[in-house]
Amino acid sequence: MNRIVPLLIIALTVLAFATLLLVAVPAMQIRSVEAPAGLEPYTEQEARGREHYVNLGCVYCHTQQPRDSSQAPDTQRGWGRASTPADYIYDSPHLLGTMRTGPDLLNVGARLPSRAWQLTHLYQPRAIVPSSLMPNFPYLFEEKDQAEEGDVVVKLPQKWAPENKVVVAKQAALDLVAYLLSLDRTYPPEQLHLRDHGYRRDESAAQFEGSGADREASL
Amino acid sequence: MNLTIGTLLAFSFAVSLIALAALIWAISRKQFQVTQKDAMSIFDNGKPGTFDDPSHPSGRLREATTLPLSPAVRRLLVLGFSTAVFWLLLGSVFGVIASYKMHLPDWLNQAAPLTFGRMRTMHLNLVIYGWLSLGGITTAIWLVPTLFKTPLRKAGMATLGVVLWNLGVAGGVIAIGSGWTDGMEWLEIPWQLDILLAVAGACLAIPLVVTAAHRQVEHIYVSAWYYMAGLVWFPSLFFLANLPSTHSGVQAATVNWWFAHNVLGLWLTPLGLGAAYYFIPKIIGKPIFSYRLSLLGFWALALFYSQVGIHHLIGGPVPTWLVTLSVVQSVMMVVPVLAVAINQHVLWLGNFWAMRESLPLRFIATGALMYTFASLQGSMEAVRAVNTVTHFTHYTVGHAHLGAYAFVALVLFGAVYYMMPRILNRPWPFPKLISVHFWLVFIGFAIYFIALTLGGWLQGLAMMDASRDWLESMELTIPYLQARSVGGTLMTLGHLLFAVNVYALFAGKQPATANAGNAIPATDLGAR
């Protein structure tokens, strides 16, 4: 290799080839997906809550991609059916995640639908799960002598409640919980052939969307 | 759109035809005629045989291949390295804080910028863009002109590039800390600030390409292939991945991992390998084992590494063919890795005396060895049967640090220890600290890696076992996370010693005794 220009051109061609395969072709394939009937776009409040989820970095400990039951017991753990590209049609940025220091959250709204539970858990995770490694988020709440009208008071066990004060959720906490409760993909899966079926023994099951095996896998 | 097997077959047929045409062209134009003689081009007059380490007590600060540096270029190099080391220190502190927070979840949570999710992200962006990228580019600014035996062109533009790059990194980290983020892993810096980094990248790439065009040597040494290719790959990747509002949902996830893994494969790896391919033979004074093999290693890396990214989405909501493609290419990475391993390890293993003599070599050869380990581990980790356990666990974090830290950072440490005395004509003020630095980061990293690998594997097994409560998979990692904090603290202490040496050298401090005889008086600086 004694010439710079051919070196650079071939190097860029190789990258362009990879981009075609990893970006362009999947984009063409996935763009045909339409929004599932059971999935609503985020409301304004949920979208604000999602922004908090993003900027507080929840994605670094929580995935949003339950795996197929042929691979892992995600569905058995109550995290929902294996997800498909259609489930993420309103998601930007995507929050698929790469780490499960905490559980998967794609269906947390269906699994833990109580706003009060979610608020207590955000204020102090160890008030609910003593061994939890999740950070507490005190700055999403404020302590007041007395709750005012319209305040949402956080229910806390004696051990974690401040003395002679009440803990009230700030708007950010309410928005974040609204987002968490919106996470519910329990409708039937769509375009199931567009997800990874590499762990399925029975290839034919993957070919036909909505086949018996798929229904079993869904919640 | 349904992608049929037929379309894929037709496509791969067309690609093979183009590749064949390129091969015929390359052979007819004698592009593949590299010989072992070309491997000697890094030595004085092409004659190998002399041990060369400017940081060694008996080492020469200047030798025949040393290029005279103008004061402007010297200032540029000092600026690049001093800021890169600053980002390393800050990034390490954030990393250690994030590590402690993982097992002390109530510690230091009074405000949002302190939360784990932001600390971890500031750590990653600082060490990737601030330390490794800037340190790697600055190394290239010294190494590329040295290889081409011609002074750096457009030094002013490169200086502007370093300044803008630093502004981009600083702005990006402040943005992430205050909650302004693009939200995708490795792409968190807001695209508005990415413009700064993109302009900076161009200001750094152009001078090096122009310098290459003015080269005074016939043959382009293998290090320069890696640097030149990396310098066009990274800007393309960075630009395409950061275009705002082009992708959403799962599509954005494929772009995310196409980018993030290519930052490792087509940017940090070339920066690390380029340096290792120069410094290992240069310090030992003997050429690499088989120069022809390095050609295979380079092109195989380009071809296979560029397509591995989607192994981060194995078992996820993306098409099966796409995941399988990345798994196959990940396994194919064994080819370039073995080519590089044979070339580099045979040389330093066969000259082990040099490992004892030269601390820069000890850093760089260890780093090169870790590249082999990290890549082979990565190939195995991409295999579905293994990935199903390690995916979503701390095992992956250990692997990422084996590549980015034990390989690239270690090579950079060694490169800085070699280059700085030569650039400044001054020996290291605290030579004994270099060895302490090595052992601190070596032992610290061993603890770090073993803890996360074991803990992550057990975590994955527990997560896969439906009969065990999920909570067990988290609880069992705690002692391993504590061990990781110990390892990370030791590594950070090592970085502190590194910074003391670097900044004292820049400040003009001379060693107390030892090799003072070699020191050239400070007044001679720039006189060459």
Query: Got the DSSP string for chain A?
Result: ---HHHHHHHHHHHHHHHHIIIIIHHHHHHHT----TT-PPPPHHHHHHHHHHHHTTGGGT----PPPTTT-TTTTTTS-SPP-GGGGTT-SS----SB-SS---TTHHHHS--HHHHHHHHH-GGGT-TT--PPP-GGGEEEESS--TT--BPP--GGGSPTT-EEEE-HHHHHHHHHHHH----SPP-SGGGS--TT-S-HHHHHSTT-HHHHHH--
Contact A145, A71 (CB under 8 A): no
Contact A99 B396 (CB under 8 A): yes
Residue of A nearest to B323 (CA): A196
Give which of A28, A52, A55 to mutate to test B binding, by max B Cβ within 10 Å: A55
Number of domains present in the structure of chain A: 1
**ipTM (interface predicted TM):** 0.92
pLDDT at B517: 44
The whole-angstrom distance between A146's CA and the closest CA on chain B is 22
Host domain of residue A196: 33-217
What tokens were used for B479? 């002692």
Chain B hits for A6, Cβ within 8 Å: 26, 31
pLDDT at A76: 96
Residue A69 lies in a domain: yes
Q: What gap in Å lies between CA B349 and CA B347, rounded to an integer?
A: 6
Look up the CATH number of the domain holding residue A88.
1.10.760.10
Chain B hits for A197, Cβ within 8 Å: 320
pLDDT at B13: 72
pLDDT at A107: 98
A195: left (phi > 0), else alpha (psi -120 to 50), else beta?
A: beta
pLDDT at B286: 94
**Between chain A and chain B, how many beta carbons pairs sit less than 8 Å apart?**
268
Which pTM value belongs to this model? 0.93
Per-residue pLDDT of chain B (528 residues; tens, 9 = 90+): 455 666 766 777 787 778 778 777 777 777 667 788 888 889 887 778 789 999 999 888 888 888 889 999 999 999 999 999 999 999 999 999 999 999 999 999 999 999 999 999 999 999 999 999 999 999 999 999 999 999 999 999 999 999 999 999 999 999 999 999 999 999 999 999 999 999 999 999 999 999 999 999 988 999 999 999 999 999 999 999 999 888 899 999 999 999 999 999 999 999 999 999 999 999 999 999 998 889 889 999 999 999 999 999 999 999 999 999 999 999 999 999 999 999 999 999 999 999 999 999 999 999 999 999 999 999 999 999 999 999 999 999 999 999 999 999 999 999 999 999 999 999 999 999 999 999 999 999 999 999 999 999 999 999 999 999 999 999 999 999 999 999 999 999 999 999 999 999 999 888 876 544 444 443 333 333
Contact A126, A100 (CB under 8 A): no
User: Which member of A22, A65, A139 has the closest CB to residue B254?
Assistant: A22
Q: What gap in Å lies between CA A75 and CA B44, rounded to an integer?
A: 65
Chain A hits for B34, Cβ within 8 Å: 1
pLDDT at B46: 74
User: Which member of A1, A85, A102 has the closest CB to residue B317?
Assistant: A85
Residue type, B128: I
Question: Taken in order B64, B206, B154, B271, is the CA torsion positive or negative?
Answer: negative
pLDDT at B66: 84
- In degrees, rounded to 5, the angle at the alpha carbon of residue B157 between the alpha carbons of residues B153 and B161 is 125
Specify the CATH architecture of the domain B65-218. Up-down Bundle (1.20)
pLDDT at A4: 87
User: Which member of B117, B258, B306 has the closest CB to residue A57?
Assistant: B117
R_g over Cα of chain A: 22
pLDDT at A69: 95
| DSSP letter for each residue of B329-371 | HHHHTHHHHHHHHHHHHHHHHHTHHHHHH-HHHHHHHHHHHHH
Contact B393 A100 (CB under 8 A): yes
Which sequence spans correspond to the domains of chain B?
Answer: 65-218
User: A211 or B45: whose pLDDT is higher?
Assistant: B45
pLDDT at B457: 98
Nearest CA among B39, B436, B449 for reference residue B224: B39
pLDDT at B513: 63
Nearest CA among B95, B115, B96 for reference residue B105: B115
Give which of B187, B301, B392 to mutate to test A binding, by max A Cβ within 10 Å: B392
pLDDT at B447: 98
Other CB atoms within a 10 A radius of the CB of residue B54 amount to: 26
Q: Where are the alpha helices (DSSP H) in B104-221?
A: 116-125, 134-148, 155-177, 191-213
To the nearest whole number, what is the mean pLDDT of chain A?
91
A142 CB-contact burial (10 Å; exposed 0-12 / middle 13-18 / buried 19+): middle
Residues with Cβ within 8 Å of B131's Cβ and at least 6 positions away in sequence, in order, are B84, B85, B87, B88, B91, B409, B412
Q: What gap in Å lies between CA A62 and CA B29, rounded to an integer?
A: 54
The whole-angstrom distance between A199's CA and the closest CA on chain B is 8
pLDDT at A217: 44
